[in-house]
Structure 1
Amino acid sequence: MSEPLVRLENVRFAYGERTILRDISLSIPRGKVVAIMGGSGCGKTTLLRLIGGQERAVSGQVTVDGQDVAGLNRADLYAMRRRMGMLFQFGALFTDMTVFDNVAFPLREHTDLPPELINDLVMMKLHAVGLRGAAKLMPGELSGGMARRVALARTIALDPMLLMYDEPFTGLDPISLGVIGQLIRRLNDALGASSVIVTHDIQESLLIVDYIYFISEGRVVAEGTPDEIRHTTDPFVHQFVHAEADGPVPFHYPADDYATALTGGPA
């Protein structure tokens, strides 16, 4: 098997005294779609920031395409980022630009291509997400699902080797959610890219990803293929997949005995 495109080995990360990730090891194979799941605040988005070089690990190593991200100088890091595409939560479109100009933005910023070629490339990307006819619209004229598809077209504008998605399904209706999920899968395969998806949407992810990592308290606590996850007996994964209120992740915040508190005992 070929070397994974992304590898994290024994990575620890902290904000000051607050540890976010503890001894995380995982890999993103070339050509595959991998999901990272876990509760809010467990460090999923921090993993994307480490891969993109916005943050640096306290210890351990993050490599992308065989390069140690923390060891890159400014110019080399920016060069690597040009080979990455990022879909932010809710899309993050430029509200004062048309759909066309939003998708054209990375091409204009990072290439010297002539306007005619940029025009053709933008229309190709918009066609790929089914929105070629919306090129002249403003973001305020788009539905939530359309805006996310425009953001996806912008994400793939430079034909990146790595696509990163931060909660791509948040706030979408069931039809739009299904459309975005299938686009993520099809575009990854068409580009020959690798994708990493940070998401809470377990059911949609099971339909499109090749592998899943579950993170809790800063560690990888479970991993597997969609079939393995569906049939797991792991208590944490079972609770997460079936949205159960109680389990390894408790519903109640730690407190004194309830009956004692009601009868006048210490709060």
Structure 2
Amino acid sequence: MASETDNLLVSLKDVRFAYGEREILRGIDLTVPRGKVVAIMGGSGCGKTTLLRLIGGQLRASGGTVDVDGREIASLSTADLYALRRRMGMLFQFGALFTDMSVFDNVAFPLREHTDLPFGLIRDMVLMKLNAVGLRGAAELKPAELSGGMARRVALARAIALDPMLIMYDEPFAGLDPISLGVIGQLIRKLNDALGATTIMVTHDIMESLLIVDYIYFVSEGRVVAQGTPDELRASDDPFVYQFIHAEPDGPVPFHYPAGPLADSLIGGVGA
């Protein structure tokens, strides 16, 4: 019987990271089981996107270990790291499509870059991916001709072009209208299950995430401060979780950046 460890696709243990003197992560412990959709949430600048970059190998942790599919990222050679990355899909903030390429060529790009498949097979695979996100009929359009929601779906089709074992999303709902947001959320869930993949999603969108994810980590000041299933977090009385889920301005996460009294800064004040 497979152990619990064997069922983990991603495991971070006591991970630390800093940009120069600025410490971003201060000892992160996080696990992602195979086949699950896991969200990482927290305020802006708390290190969420940095975690994706560590998992993808674009950055190296200054302490702790990052394991993906049983392999420690820091110990991989360049060739082995690139091979592992080919088994990952990434949807960047706002899609990051190539603006001078058609929808078809955007989705075909990773297939042409990383495989030697003949054109006919690439064509069929691209059309199947576009069909999965409802945009086969838009194959010849350019990104400028798409709505924001359509562009995000094309980016999703590109992220799954190589049938990755791990799909990572950086703010997949940013800038979308409510209808597009709901469509993208359901696509993330359905494609993960249909592909037998594993998903890590960095997002601020609480309500949509609670509908589609299996587990959530809340990150603040470089640490995991809360975690649980959607039902556990909805019922939580933890001050950080409550503030984040209910969008309260007052709580553990301050609205105001630290400063002295306002009166002291105004004309005639002590600090003027």
TM over 0.5: yes
TM-superposed deviation, 1:251: 1.8
Tell me which moved more, 251-260 or 185-194: 251-260
Residue 255 (structure 2) aligns with:
251
Structure 1: 5+ residue runs without aligned partners?
A: none
Query: Of 114, 117, 123, which residue of structure 1 is paired with 2:127?
Result: 123
Amino acid at match of 1:132: R
Supply the distance in 1 between the matched residues of 2:150 and 2:89 (Cα, whole angstroms): 18
Supply the distance in 2 between the matched residues of 1:96 and 1:158 (Cα, whole angstroms): 22
The reply to whether residue 106 of structure 1 matches residue 130 of structure 2 is no
Supply the distance in 2 between the matched residues of 1:123 and 1:251 (Cα, whole angstroms): 46
Supply the distance in 2 between the matched residues of 1:238 and 1:258 (Cα, whole angstroms): 28
TM-superposed deviation, 1:255: 2.6
Structure 2: 5+ residue runs without aligned partners?
A: none
The reply to whether residue 25 of structure 1 matches residue 23 of structure 2 is no
The reply to whether residue 238 of structure 1 matches residue 242 of structure 2 is yes
Amino acid at match of 2:127: M
Residue 155 (structure 1) aligns with:
159
- Identity across matched positions, percent: 78
Residue 87 (structure 1) aligns with:
91
TM-superposed deviation, 1:258: 4.0
The reply to whether residue 266 of structure 1 matches residue 271 of structure 2 is yes
Amino acid at match of 2:190: R
Correspondence 1:2-13 to 2 at 5 A: 2-13=6-17
**CA deviation digits over 1:50-101, x for unaligned, max 9?**
0000000011000000000011001000000000000000001111111001
Supply the distance in 2 between the matched residues of 1:256 and 1:14 (Cα, whole angstroms): 28
Supply the distance in 2 between the matched residues of 1:55 and 1:261 (Cα, whole angstroms): 41
Supply the distance in 1 between the matched residues of 2:109 and 2:209 (Cα, whole angstroms): 29
Amino acid at match of 2:172: P
Supply the distance in 2 between the matched residues of 1:19 and 1:260 (Cα, whole angstroms): 31
How many pairs were matched up?
267
Residue 217 (structure 2) aligns with:
213
Residue aligned with 1:5, SS: strand
Residue aligned with 2:61, SS: coil
Residue 45 (structure 1) aligns with:
49
Supply the distance in 2 between the matched residues of 1:194 and 1:144 (Cα, whole angstroms): 25
Distance 1:113 1:261, change over 3 A: closer
**CA deviation digits over 1:17-73, x for unaligned, max 9?**
111000100011100000000000000000000000000001100000000001100
Tell me which moved more, 95-104 or 250-259: 250-259
Residue aligned with 1:93, SS: coil
**TM-score, normalisation: structure 1:** 0.97
Residue aligned with 1:27, SS: strand
Supply the distance in 1 between the matched residues of 2:149 and 2:113 (Cα, whole angstroms): 26
The reply to whether residue 36 of structure 1 matches residue 68 of structure 2 is no
Query: Of 64, 67, 73, which residue of structure 2 is paired with 1:63?
Result: 67
